[in-house]
Amino acid sequence: MPEEPKDLDYSLQGKTVDTTLQAPDLPYKPKDPKSYHPRIGLIACGGITESHLTAYSRAGYEVVALCDLIEERAKKRQAQFYPKATVTTDYRKVLDRDDIEVVDIATHPRERLPLIEAALRAKKHVLSQKPFVLDLAAGKHLADLADEMGVRLAVNQNGRWAPHFSYIHRAAHSGLLGDLIGVHAGVHWDHTWIMGTPFEKIRDVILYDFSIHWFDFLSHLLAGKKVTRVMASRSYAAGQDAKPPMLGQAILEFEGGQASLIFDAALKYGPVDRTYVGGTKGTIWSVADDEGGQRLTLSTAEGHAQPKLEGQWFTDGFHGTMGELLCAIEEGRQPTNNARENLNSLALCFAAIASAGTGESKVPFEVTKLPPGSAPGAD
């Protein structure tokens, strides 16, 4: 990973680029539908749904039902965000309501599968929490069922609408970077908040539950380029107290390029989060700032630019996933975060976890299930 520059003078292959350009105006922010304002039901009201509902309430989305097996959790969300919403412990009461067109299902993967199927059969549009499924075949079944029922099924890969990830995607897909050669991300932080929570029971909490954001970032960035090989490892950090391995890394090869993802999740001081994407026409890279955002630099033959991004991953990412689903319904198209497309991201993730377990490289889609023991329900 290149060192962070101390000024705006870049040296590329011995040639100094000292031209400061106006940053391209790219549509990286979440979008809302123009006139489609459906009623939404939320099934499961755990910790992460505070971010869901914060985003929805700010966007003006109408949530009319809150469901959780633990009634107190649903009532807490009701008091926080939607006092007029009904509360229930029975998801079927949400699906039976004709006035609810969209449901957000935020349980863990094992419990989520039958809920998604029931919602689709009730002809509800669905936003599924991530990671989507434990088995690619099950995911394909749900995508097929959504098509059969004439509804949309999207996955809450909220990292796509983190401002820096979204801008990088737009820059790459608009051709600013040319053919991609290198994609490298490193996240070095303290993830031990999982101790004492159900997440501590996920052996591959780093390479699976957390890193799925980065596998999805990479899959969406490559936009159909075939990843030919995945090599990965996981290990325990010195002095860690959390039960699952807190270190993980993956190297991926694709046509004409390579990618690396590095995760150090047991560092208590000085967190660092960097992303670098380079191609034949330019590069773009970002680093976390002190205010919870990211500073970006785009460099091409014409010079360099530093876009000033607005927003943060939490809660813009959650606004983006639901907003894209609603826009897709309104426009009669598939959402970009649709379930079938998300299987590509899971295929990279599953291959990495399988490689970490065997020490051998793996080919995406040859590993069709989350390897046994990786998470509850992966048998």
Q: What is the pLDDT of residues 74-97, one digit of tens each?
A: 999 999 999 999 999 999 999 999
Phi, psi values for residue 81, rounded to 5°:
-125, -45
Position 378 pLDDT exceeds 60: yes
**Spacing of C-alpha 349 from chain mean position:** 12
Compute the distance between CA of residue 57 and CA of residue 53 in angstroms, rounded to an integer: 6
pLDDT band at 377 (very low <50, low <70, confident <90, very high): confident
Segment 303-329 shows an average pLDDT of 96
Residue with more model confidence, 81 or 2: 81
- Before 131, cis peptide (omega within 30)? yes
Contact 273, 189 (CB under 8 A): yes
Share of the chain above pLDDT 90, in %: 92
What pLDDT score does 19 carry? Answer: 56
